[in-house]
Amino acid sequence: MPRTRSKIPSCTDPLGETLHLLRLTGTLYCRSELTAPWGVDLPPFDGCMMFHIVTAGRCWLEVKGDEPRLLQQGSLALVPHGNGHRIRSSPTAEAVPLFDIPVEQVSDRYEIMRYGGAGDLTHLTCGVVRFDHVAAQQLIALLPKVLQIDTWDDDEGSWLQSTLRFISREAKELRPGGETVITHLADILIIQAIRSWIDSAREADRGWLAALRDDQVGRAIAAIHREPEKDWTVALLAKAVGMSRSGFSARFTKLVGESAMRYLTQWRMQLARTQLQETSDPLSVLADRLGYQSEAAFSRAFKRVFGVSPGSVRHAATAPLWDIAN
């Protein structure tokens, strides 16, 4: 029988709660010291986000299907969908494949690249990251091919420039623990860039992000995120947010693009896939944790969503990020 639950408070911040779930994993960073003329041709990295922070000098970013972009000191550019692209000192500079350029390996997560001619110097902090949580996958799908931030409002600009200067200093001196400081600060910059886009982009006013901002639907989504194991039904979600069943069902589907029950299943299965890869918990434990009464029901739902059994992704080896493109 469905369990009774109290009405979801209207004061919750569903979008804020969702952003809190963003978690970077499998991160690899590279400090680049590049002297003109230079060019780097980066291959696609499936399922990853790439970024470039210009801490000194300037360069051009070229992603297929998008106009070349000039990045100057203080620019932050994200390539959210892992598309192959080029960065170079000028639009005519030759671009050499990434893996043909030698690097100095500082740690498993951090390396240094020194490359180019004898001209003007550009310093970049670049990286490849994954957002493994289902919330991140939903969000990244909405982002443009390139997310570039050159100007920030006064408050953001102050801390951004301070952070960039700090990254630049750490990268130059590379004191003990420097790579850890750089990677953590870059993580923060990426999250802040996404937040800035959400605040200003027209695309953020529709679809899943708009649904999170909606008073009733947003609270229902937040409830699913917080308690995926609950025996939610359309009627219970509707009651929890103070709507009729039919009105809630229609509004949820209109804003999110899929039904509430399908969204619940997708959310559960994305969480399941992450837990299968990161834990050794038995399938019966995962099934119970995600609201399924039996291991068989859980396995059937998993296979419907992903086309494979849960056991086939158990302990799937995670290759180093630079190896994904090979």
Q: What would be the CATH architecture of the domain defined by 17-202? A: Sandwich (2.60)
Residue partners of 183: CB distance under 8 A and separation at least 6: 27, 29, 109, 110, 127
Q: Which residue has the tokens 């003109």?
A: 36
- Paired with 127 in beta bridges are 29, 51
The token pair that represents 26 in the structure block = 């499998």
Handedness of CA 82, 88, 91, 97 (dihedral sign): negative
pLDDT at 161: 67
Per-residue pLDDT at 179: 67
Give the tokens for residue 193. 């860039």
> What is the model's pLDDT at position 245?
96
Q: List pLDDT tens digits, range 137-186.
A: 777 888 889 998 876 555 555 666 677 667 666 766 667 776 677 767 77
Cα 222 to Cα 94: distance, rounded to the nearest angstrom:
49
Whole-angstrom Cα distance, residue 89 to residue 40?
A: 9
> How many whole angstroms separate alpha carbon 32 and alpha carbon 12?
42
Q: Which residue has the tokens 């919750």?
A: 12
**pLDDT at residue 70, rounded to an integer:** 96
Q: Identify whether the C-beta of residue 238 lies closer than 8 Å to the C-beta of residue 259.
A: no
pLDDT of residue 325: 45
Paired sense of beta strands 96-97 and 39-42, if any? parallel
Tens digit of each residue's pLDDT (9 = 90 or more) over 237-261: 999 999 999 999 999 999 988 999 9
DSSP string for residues in 13-27: -HHHHHHHT--EEEE
* Structure tokens that stand for 173 in this block: 């001196």
153, two tokens: 């409002």
Among the listed residues 128, 127, 150, 147, the one whose alpha carbon sits nearest the alpha carbon of residue 139: 147
Domain map (residue ranges) of the chain: 17-202, 207-313
Report mean pLDDT in 10-residue bins for the chain, 326 residues: 40 69 71 95 90 91 92 89 95 95 85 94 88 72 86 59 70 68 74 78 77 89 90 95 95 92 92 85 92 92 90 60 45
Task: Please identify which residue in the block is written with the tokens 């919330």.
Answer: 135
Calculate ∠ Cα 85-86-90, nearest 5°: 150
Record: fold of 207-313: Arc Repressor Mutant, subunit A (1.10.10)
Instruction: Give yes or no on whether 17-202 and 207-313 have one common fold.
Output: no
pTM of the model: 0.71
Mean pLDDT of all residues belonging to the chain: 82
| Lookup: tokens for 162 | 């301070």
Query: What pLDDT does 25 receive?
Result: 66
Closest CA to 72 of 88, 86, 56, 85: 56
Query: How do 147-149 and 110-116 pair as beta strands?
Result: unpaired
Task: Specify the residue for token string 């029901």.
Answer: 297
**Is 54:168 a contact under the CB 8 Å cutoff?**
no
